[in-house]
Structure 1
Amino acid sequence: MPGGAGTFGSTPAEKTAAANTIETELQPNTKRATEHADEATNTAVKGFEDWDTAPGLKKAADAWDGQVKVLMGRLDSEKSALRGVSGLFVRNDIDLDDQFRPIGQSKLHGL
């Protein structure tokens, strides 16, 4: 909006809360779900070991594990980005303030 004060999509507190949610809920719950799925799949593979189904289940489990690894990496990246961006905005604001401060101080002020 021209001439008006801009707003960010979220506050530093909201970014911190989102990062904390990733760390305390999404990552642990994803890990638990993965472990549960791995246990169930391993049991199924053993139950079908004399069938052609066992290698197919193992292949699907390996693909699942790869996808979970990518997801966990993405969650780590998002968590780090959320925590880092708040500090980046604050440092940027301070730097801009420091750059503009001399402009507001007229050499005529002390005359």
Structure 2
Amino acid sequence: MIVTTTNSVEGKKVLEYKGIIFGEVISGVDVIKDIAAGLTNFFGGRSKSYEGELIQAREEALKELEDRASAVGANAVIGVDIDYEVLGQAGNMLMVTASGTAVVVE
């Protein structure tokens, strides 16, 4: 499966458009990671716990995007965009959405 942020795949012709598809993940940050991030916020530096959660959520959203593209018969996704949102009253939920156009390329 080819997944790209560009609107075409270099050297390949788009034969069929299958439509817009999405991959969404909503991930809760556990109490331990939240405490560790709070300490990092207080003392400064990078929050490895939040970074790890973000990386995992992004990879899962892209995997879901690929799975949905395959389900409609596509072999590529073009124009991919990834968005991030913080959800929940305490801001301890992370939503990652990957979207793009499922296509068949030669």
Normalization by structure 2: what TM-score? 0.34
Kindly indicate whether structure 1 or structure 2 has the higher relative contact order, using CA contacts under 8 Å at least 6 residues apart: 2
**Could you say which structure has the larger radius of gyration?**
1
If each structure's helix is expressed as a fraction of its own residues, which one has the higher value? 1
Larger fraction in strand: 2
